[in-house]
Structure formats: structure tokens, C-alpha cells
Structure 1
Amino acid sequence: MTDRSTTARRRRAVGPVAGAVLATVALLGAACSSSSTSSGSGDTPGTVEAGTDVTLAADGPPRAGGTLTFGMSGETDGYNPTQNRWAGDGTTVGLTLFDPLAAYAADGSAVPYLAESFTPNDDFTQWTIQLRDGVTFHDGTPLRAEAVKRTMDGLRASPLTGPALAPIESVEVTDDLTLVVTAFEPWAAYPVNLTGQAGVVAAPSQLDDPDGARAPVGTGPFRFVSWENDKELVVERNPDYWRTDTDGNALPYLDQIVFRPIPEDSQRVAGLQTGEIDMTWSATASTVRQLRDLAAAGEIQLVEQEGQTEVAFVMLNLGAPPFDDPRARLALAQATDADSYASVLAEGITNPARTLFRPGTRFHSDVEIPGYDPDAARATLAEYEADKGPLAFTLKVQSTPGGRAQGEFLQQLWQQVGMEVTVEQAEATAFLGETVVGDFEAVTWGQFGSPDPDYEQVWWRSSSSKPVGELSLNFPRHADPATDDALDRARATDDLDARIAAYADVQRRFAEDLPYIYLDFTQPAIAAGNEVRGITNGPLPDGSPAYPMGG
């Protein structure tokens, strides 16, 4: 067994926060013992309990070197930020290879990361970005504003990332380390959108390479080594990385990370127990419960995400029957028992969701969707059926044990009030592809876990809604001028109270139009063997705390 040195780097768990946090773990994590067979307290550390969210091995000084094997839930189609979808684990891998221009601070605000500073004009229609000096790409070329502009222009032109950056009018280079981004309209929270895929910078050599999606070149703490689909992706320490720890030691600590796609949660947990992998994650309730038990027994370390997490929901297609009819959507909401879903299907690990943002987070509002009321559901259903006949539809779920359990639970619940429900399973790639083109009536989904909802605006705007059959980032095809107005108001100011009020109006429109029927707030967790150190989120480049993952 090799030394395990990880490094905690940033913020967003698989969902938004975990992918970045897991990448941060790659930057700052470290091992305290040379191997699992060496003598000394490093082999069998005690645990430190920090509430219910964190179970960590007793800490010690980081040890440089070693290889960490990370168990991923799935593959990504490539690592060109302008061409490929970095859903889920793609963000984890991507943010070990690339640095984002911004990162989330402990309070959920976006602060400079690869950038040195962000300076807006008075009405937030223009942002001056100053880059850090002395940063180099993995191919040895220096980070310059022209390279940032080239990636930004590619991101703006991409059908995947372009809609999120549509407010940008121009990107101009003023000197080697300075760019000016001009928007068509005020964008007070623009740096929020630079914390993930739309904020990383690829080397010009990668963008020039026809096979660049499989040979990424960034500025991140690790360099690309090799990739064999469905087997493993290997990265190695970047010896020229620009960050150091608080004692001035070069980061990252690890020599290498091996990412292995292991789709089944049970296999990843088993691999963690046997030492086949050193770290993994899950947001599946039954798996999180199992990981909690293993952590309580001292077999592993566990960190659970705090703050806003993804909300799980049933997403409805408003662009086609039957859910183009608001009565069908209302009946479904009234027939959905989120409390039972959380207590039975999620085994009490999660909290039921009736709002978009998690209670206790700064953008939470008390605006709730209609609650479970089977009698009201039957009455609404009768009104619908008097005009259009039986409410019959297909619920699409992922072809995983968790997806099948979701489908069976919801099917039984809705059939109790007289709906005719068919459950259809789809493998992950087809599931996503069919959703974005509107090939669904109802689908189970999870999203919107960003600390700041400005990052999510592209999914909610009418401009992102396209007809069924076309790629649409507004998946439910909810085109609503009142929602757009609230989103505009949220972007026009940096006053937090005004932004909170605007997003409360967004939630009010969702509660009225019901594109989403909320189920629960997911509870992502990172699990690691006891030899790994630094699995909570570490400091930002200026030493201030990053957005928390657990502790």
C-alpha cells in the first residue's frame, strides 16, 4: 500500500460543491504513515468526532508522496472545458487538472483563485480580471491573458457552456495579465460563474490539439498521464504548481492520483474496505448510512457536506402533454409525499424538501410547493380527467438500484390516487441525453447545489428553453417572464438582502408553475481510508477558509 497524501482544494461537492471539494482534497491531502504495515500510531489512528457530519482520523503532519486511488461513480466524455460535459465526477477530475479563476469562500461568496482580483465598474456591466503572475501551464508556457480569452471565447461559443455566458458582450485583453469582460446587462455575481467548468483555463496547445479532450493541459496541481476508458485515469503531481501550504511547502503533497470508475455504490464501499481504493463519495442514502456505520466503528473517515446540497425532485416536461396542463402538475404535487420519501426511501438520512434552497442556507425562503394531500390530488385529477381523460404518463429513472427504488416508490404513491404510471429505466448517458432534448414526460433528477444560485440561472431562464427535440438547458422548458424578471433583479445588485428577495420570487413562481416536484435534499458524503489526511476543505490561496465540506 502506498503513502496517501491528499490536499483539500476548494468547494463544490459532486453536485456543485463536492466535485471541487474532492479536487481540493487532491491538492491538500496527505498521509501520516509510510504504509499500512508500518508500526506506529499512524496505522490505527483514533477518531475525532465533530458532530454528526465529520468523523476524522487523528491528524498529524502531512507526508509528501504516494498514490491515492479514487473511486468514481462514472466516466466523462472528455476534458476540454469548451466541448465536454463535466457532470458529477468529471468536475472532480477536471479541477485537479485545471484551476478555476474563482472559488467559494466560507460564506458562499466567490473570491479570486487563479485570478488575483476581480474589479467591477459601478453598474456591474464590466469586470476587470487581474491574473496571478508566475503561473505556468503543464506544457511549460506561461499563463497569459490571451490564453484566458481564448478559453473564454471557446466557452462562450460552445452549445454546452455558451448559454450560461450569454450575458457577456466581449472579452478584451489589455495587457499580459489583465482582461476586461463586458456584459450586455448588470451581472453583480459574475465571479460565481467562474468557480467551475466555465471558469477554468486550458492551454492553447490543448485547444489546438484535435485530440485535446483526451489530453488535457491546464495549470492545476496535477498533470495528465493516461486514460483508459472505463478502467482508470491517471494524473501526476505538477512540480511547478504555484500554490504552497501555510508553512511554505510546495503543493500538492501527492505524487499521483488514480481515478477508477466504479458505478455501483456497493462496489466502491467494498473497495474502500479492502483497500482497493482510498477514497470515494456517495449521495445515496443507504450508502451514506453504511458509511456512517463504518466510520462509527473506526474503519474509515467520513465527511458530509454542509450548506446547500442538491435537491432531488421529479422534473416535469412543460413542453408536451400531459404536463403542459397545470392541473396535471398540481395533481402530481398533491399526490407526492416528500416526508415518506425521505423517511422510507432515503432511510431518514435526508430531509424532505418543500423549497428550492435548504433551510438554514442564506437563500432559503419559506415559499413551499403544494404539500401532500391525496384527497385534493383526487379532486384535481378528476377536474383534469373531465377534460382530457385519464392521466397516464411515463416516469423515467436511471437504471441503478437507487433509480429503480425511486420509480417503484413514486409509482405506487401516484397510483393510489388514480394515476396511470409506467416506469422506464435508462442508463446514465442515455438518461442525460434524452432529458436535454425533452424526451421525457416526468423524470427523477437532482440539481441546484451551488452555494450561490447565480450559478444556476442558466437552467431557469426562458432563453435557455427550447422546443422538444432540441437541446435545452432549461430542462422542463419552463418559459416564464416573471421568473426572468426576478432573475434579472437578482443579477442587478450586490445587495444580499435584495438578492435574497429576488430569489424568493423565483421560488414563488416555481411553487405556482410546478416545473419541479421536490422530494428531498441530498446528503453527499466523502469517505476515505484512515491513512488519508486533509479530507475536509482546505484554505484558499490567501489563507482564508474555503466553503466547508463537513468541518
Structure 2
Amino acid sequence: MLLLSACGGSSGNAGGSGGSSDDVLSLALENTLPGWDWRKQISAGHVGLEWRPVYDTLLRTRTDGTVVPNAAEKYSYNEDKTVLTLKMRAGMKFTDGAPVDARAAKFSLEGFRDGGGADSLRLAGVKVHVVDDLTLTLTLPAPNPALISYLGGSCGQLVSPASLDSPTLATKPIGSGPYVLNTRATVTGSKFVFNRNPDYWNPDDFPYDKVEFLVMADETAQLNALSTGQIDGAEISLGSIERAKSTGLRVDSFPNVWSGLFFLDRAGTKIPALGDVRVRKAINMVFDRSAIAEGIWNGNGVANSQTYGPISPAFQKDLVDHYPYDIKAAQRLMKEAGYADGFSITLPEVDHYNDEYSAIAVQQLAKLNIRAEVVSVPRQESISRILGGEFPMFVYKMPVNPEAEQVSNVLGPKGAFNPYHSEDPELNKLLAKWTVADGDQAAKVYQEINRFLVEKAWFAPFGNPDLPWAFNGSTTISGTLGTTPPLYAFK
């Protein structure tokens, strides 16, 4: 495995305040952290960005999906990829003065694994052993290509062992990241302020002396804040791209997500009809993907019957139009499956995340006599309620990459986004091949997995919409990880 060093940026100068200063990065985010307990943090969405200033990670997952060293300066697997050895950098310290060493890493990993958070299953069965002051090993119950990517996210957070006994764990984190939470300037639930950590080992990758996150659920408020220079950047909806450009804002788009219907109950545990592949195929056929790409995405995306878009090695051109828009054929499939009368289902609607699909989902599902009721779910509750299995089917926006992480998280029987633990013997064989595949062979296995997902209708994708971010000045990002840019990507 190639061990790479992180890329460098230019270091900030004297500190400033507000979005107008080159030394301050100010971003609008749509939701807020529930607290600073590292065991409860997740990598998904904007909350995956909010903890990163204070909690450094063992490894770093780049925006192109590759994994490189970070707080662990070296990493390597044994021959059968069941033991991962990590070598920590010497001399690092937490903000309480404690050393960032192998024992602290073990504490952090085991606390996260056993902490009951939404991402904790990603470390299920992983055993951590301290070899010496700076070396530790992670022993896996079975090979998992996603593990190193996970260690660049929530699973790889490093926290001081004093955190567990700290009475202020929920409000004052003790990490070793590039920034320190400014508790005086921070307003819980509405504003986070971080000052540069003068002792951070890699300051060049974080050019800002100060980082601010302003919680703004309303997109109009975000655009107004951008236009007036109150903030430097924000993720916006596809429908707001032209509005943003008309006010002089710069918009950068990233095509690494998919949108569509996500089936969880593929075995028909709660909704028996969803256990029939003919029903899932019928649902695929009642959505006009091209119309969605033009009418909802305003041409900022591509229609696609597969979750993987053109940027992914799993993408296959012949699968783009696998499910034609054919309502009569879809109705025949429902009748053949014995569900001509359809069924009732509840769909969650999350503001500024999937609400643009509610009307078309209800309208088109009704053509199959599927009676969909939309219920509003607060953004901060959406992940926990979905991962809790409350909704057998929902419309969502999901990352395409990193591919290994998505396969493990979404398709694995114990994956966080597979709360119904769906399995299929054919897919299990493909997953077994995936765990030991490398290079060109890995790309081939991803394509085989992709074909299975399409042909067995595990999802009903609309396609791959762009993911737009708007900026009011010279701030740029090198890309996103899933749906959110990592902090190091901002320059």
C-alpha cells in the first residue's frame, strides 16, 4: 500500500473576524451537533464537518477517495488484511497536554466502538492492541476494505483519555485537531467558533486562523448572508444556483451523490410488497428520470438507473437506461406480483435535503396504488430515525464515494444504512470477493456489485444530481467527501 504525505496549503496570518477576513472561514450549515461526545459523532452530512476542527483523525480520506496518513504517519495490513498496524507521529499532544499516543488511540477507538453511536457498528468486532508507545494494531473479524476510510472519519477520531471523566464532555471537547473550540464565542445550537490550535502538527493544511459555523436552516437566509459577506460559503439547492449566480456569487458543483428511492425493507418485514423484486422494479419504472433531471435539477445532473455515476469505477454505461419510464408495464408487474391494489407507506421529508421530491414521489407512486404519506422529520433527527429502521422506504440523497465505505455502510449485513440487515446469497458472494480484491480486480467487483443492485432493484435511483456550494469571495474547495467537503478542502 502506497503511503503518502498530506498535501500542504499556505498558512494564515494574523487573526481577523467575520466572513470578510482572509484569515477567517465562515460557513453556513443547516443543522447542529447534538453535543461533543466523540462516541456519538457521525461522518454523514454537515455534522460530519462540525466536529473535524477539534478532533483529528488517525488517517485522512481525500476527496478523490484515496486514504493517506494523518495522525498515524504510517499504516499497513498483514497479508490476509485482517490486521492493520498504525504508527503514530511522535510529539503530538491533546489540548489538555496529554500525549497523542497508541494508548490514547486505543481509548478513542474502543470508546467509539462501544459507545452506541450511529457509526459505532463500523468498528464492530475490531480488537485494538497497543504494541508500544506509538504503535497499535487493529485486528478485524474479517477483511474490510472500508476500514481505512472509516479511520479518516468518525471512527478515527482522537480524544484525550480524560474526556470520559470530564463533566464538560458535551460542551468542551478535548481533542488534538487543527482548532480549539472557543466556548465564550460559541452559542449552542446557532454558532460555533474555533481558534487555531498553535500546537497542531500540520498547520499548513489549514490556512485560516479562525473558523466559524453559523447554523442556518433557511436557504434564503444563507443566500442573504453570502451576498452581504457575513459568510464565505454554504451548500445550496439546485434550484438556487441561478439565483446565487445572479447576485454575483460563485457556484462550484460536485457530481458525487445519487438521489432516489432507498429501499430498506427488501425482505418485506414491515411492508411485504417490498420483499418482491417485481414491486421494486415497478417502482423504478414509474419515474421519468430525464424529466426529474430537467425539471427538478434544472439540468444540473444526469438521469441514471444506477446509483453509481460516471465518476465511479463501478459505473456501467449500459445500465443508465436499465429501467425505462413505462407506467403500464409497471402496473402489470404489480398485478403479476399480487399487489395491484398497492399498499400504504410513510415517507420522511427533510427540509433542504429531500423535500423537492415529495410531490413527485407521492404522485408517481399513486400510479401503482401505493398510498404514500409524507411526514416532516427535523434535519437533526433524520439520520437516527432512518438508521433506526422507522421508514421501510424513503427518498434520499446519498454519497457515491468513497466506494469501499459505501459498500460496507449500505450493503453489508451489519452496515449502518442497512438496519433491516438485508442479505442475498448472490450479493454475499460478491462482497466476499470485494473484501480481498485490489486494483483492477476491485473495479471489476464494484461493477459486478453495481449490476446486482440494478437488476435486483435494491434501490430506485433517479440519477446523479450535482452538489452545489456557493461562495462570495476567493474561498474554494477541492471537492467533497460524499455530501460534505472536509475541512482541509477549504482554501
TM range (shorter): 0.7 to 0.9
CA distance in 2, matches of 1:137, 1:126: 27
Q: Residues 270 and 166 of structure 1: is their aligned pair in 2 closer, same or farther, counting only changes over 3 Å?
A: same
Bigger mean CA deviation after superposition, 181-190 or 347-356: 181-190
- Counterpart of 1:336, as a letter, is F
Aligned match of 1:374: 327
Deviation at 1:345, TM superposition (A): 1.2
CA distance in 1, matches of 2:373, 2:353: 17
Bigger mean CA deviation after superposition, 113-122 or 158-167: 158-167
The 5 Å alignment of 1:85-484 reads 85-105=42-62, 108-159=65-116, 160-166=118-124, 168=126, 170-188=127-145, 190-226=147-183, 227-245=186-204, 252-282=206-236, 284-294=237-247, 299-305=248-254, 309-316=256-263, 317-318=265-266, 319-321=269-271, 322-366=273-317, 367=319, 370-384=323-337, 387-388=338-339, 390-400=341-351, 403-416=354-367, 418-464=369-415, 473-475=417-419, 477-484=421-428
Deviation at 1:201, TM superposition (A): 0.8
TM-score, L = length of structure 1: 0.77
Q: Residues 400 and 225 of structure 1: is their aligned pair in 2 closer, same or farther, counting only changes over 3 Å?
A: same
CA distance in 1, matches of 2:200, 2:100: 12
Deviation at 1:401, TM superposition (A): 6.3
Deviation at 1:231, TM superposition (A): 1.7
Tell whether the 8 Å contact from 2:475 to 2:490 is kept in structure 1 after alignment: no
TM-score, L = length of structure 2: 0.86
Deviation at 1:277, TM superposition (A): 1.9
CA distance in 1, matches of 2:141, 2:200: 36
Q: Residues 136 and 526 of structure 1: is their aligned pair in 2 closer, same or farther, counting only changes over 3 Å?
A: farther
Q: Residues 347 and 455 of structure 1: is their aligned pair in 2 closer, same or farther, counting only changes over 3 Å?
A: closer
CA distance in 2, matches of 1:221, 1:381: 55
Deviation at 1:73, TM superposition (A): 1.0
Q: CA-to-partner distance for each residue in 1:343-365, whole Å, 9 max, x for gaps?
A: 11111112123212111322323
Task: Establish whether residue 81 from structure 1 lines up as the match of residue 38 from structure 2.
Answer: yes
CA distance in 2, matches of 1:320, 1:121: 42
CA distance in 2, matches of 1:436, 1:217: 28
| Unpaired segments ≥5 residues, structure 2 | 481-485
Deviation at 1:418, TM superposition (A): 4.6
CA distance in 2, matches of 1:261, 1:377: 43
Q: Residues 396 and 82 of structure 1: is their aligned pair in 2 closer, same or farther, counting only changes over 3 Å?
A: same
Q: Residues 230 and 430 of structure 1: is their aligned pair in 2 closer, same or farther, counting only changes over 3 Å?
A: same
Task: Establish whether residue 518 from structure 1 lines up as the match of residue 461 from structure 2.
Answer: yes
- Counterpart of 1:315, as a letter, is F
CA distance in 2, matches of 1:549, 1:84: 20
Bigger mean CA deviation after superposition, 312-321 or 266-275: 312-321
CA distance in 1, matches of 2:245, 2:304: 22
CA distance in 1, matches of 2:190, 2:385: 26
Q: Residues 133 and 525 of structure 1: is their aligned pair in 2 closer, same or farther, counting only changes over 3 Å?
A: farther
Structure 2 SS opposite 1:74: coil
Deviation at 1:189, TM superposition (A): 5.2
CA distance in 1, matches of 2:10, 2:218: 27
Q: Residues 441 and 171 of structure 1: is their aligned pair in 2 closer, same or farther, counting only changes over 3 Å?
A: closer
Structure 2 SS opposite 1:153: helix
Deviation at 1:146, TM superposition (A): 0.1
CA RMSD of aligned residues (A): 3.3
Tell whether the 8 Å contact from 2:233 to 2:475 is kept in structure 1 after alignment: no
- Counterpart of 1:320, as a letter, is K
CA distance in 1, matches of 2:78, 2:130: 17
CA distance in 2, matches of 1:396, 1:518: 16
CA distance in 1, matches of 2:206, 2:40: 27
- Counterpart of 1:498, as a letter, is Q
CA distance in 2, matches of 1:485, 1:341: 35
The 5 Å alignment of 1:19-58 reads none
Number of residue pairs matched?
Answer: 473
Structure 2 SS opposite 1:180: strand
Q: Residues 28 and 229 of structure 1: is their aligned pair in 2 closer, same or farther, counting only changes over 3 Å?
A: farther
Tell whether the 8 Å contact from 2:41 to 2:51 is kept in structure 1 after alignment: no
CA distance in 1, matches of 2:469, 2:143: 37
Q: CA-to-partner distance for each residue in 1:381-425, whole Å, 9 max, x for gaps?
A: 2223xx345113235132536644311122223334554333333
Q: Residues 359 and 535 of structure 1: is their aligned pair in 2 closer, same or farther, counting only changes over 3 Å?
A: closer
Q: Residues 338 and 10 of structure 1: is their aligned pair in 2 closer, same or farther, counting only changes over 3 Å?
A: farther
The sequence identity of aligned pairs, in percent, is 20
| Unpaired segments ≥5 residues, structure 1 | 1-8, 12-23, 38-42, 44-62, 246-250, 465-471, 539-545
Aligned match of 1:492: 436
Deviation at 1:311, TM superposition (A): 1.1
Bigger mean CA deviation after superposition, 225-234 or 255-264: 225-234
- Counterpart of 2:124, as a letter, is A
Tell whether the 8 Å contact from 2:254 to 2:479 is kept in structure 1 after alignment: no
CA distance in 1, matches of 2:224, 2:200: 34
CA distance in 2, matches of 1:404, 1:186: 38
Deviation at 1:228, TM superposition (A): 2.6
CA distance in 2, matches of 1:325, 1:450: 28
Q: Residues 376 and 122 of structure 1: is their aligned pair in 2 closer, same or farther, counting only changes over 3 Å?
A: same
Q: CA-to-partner distance for each residue in 1:204-227, whole Å, 9 max, x for gaps?
A: 122332441322121111001224
Structure 2 SS opposite 1:382: helix
Deviation at 1:79, TM superposition (A): 2.8
Deviation at 1:485, TM superposition (A): 2.4
Tell whether the 8 Å contact from 2:206 to 2:488 is kept in structure 1 after alignment: no
CA distance in 1, matches of 2:308, 2:165: 41
Q: Residues 213 and 180 of structure 1: is their aligned pair in 2 closer, same or farther, counting only changes over 3 Å?
A: same
- Counterpart of 1:415, as a letter, is A
Deviation at 1:268, TM superposition (A): 0.6
Tell whether the 8 Å contact from 1:31 to 1:533 is kept in structure 2 after alignment: no
Q: CA-to-partner distance for each residue in 1:238-259, whole Å, 9 max, x for gaps?
A: 11111143xxxxx644332221
CA distance in 2, matches of 1:525, 1:203: 36
Structure 2 SS opposite 1:302: strand
Deviation at 1:504, TM superposition (A): 2.1
Tell whether the 8 Å contact from 1:29 to 1:534 is kept in structure 2 after alignment: no
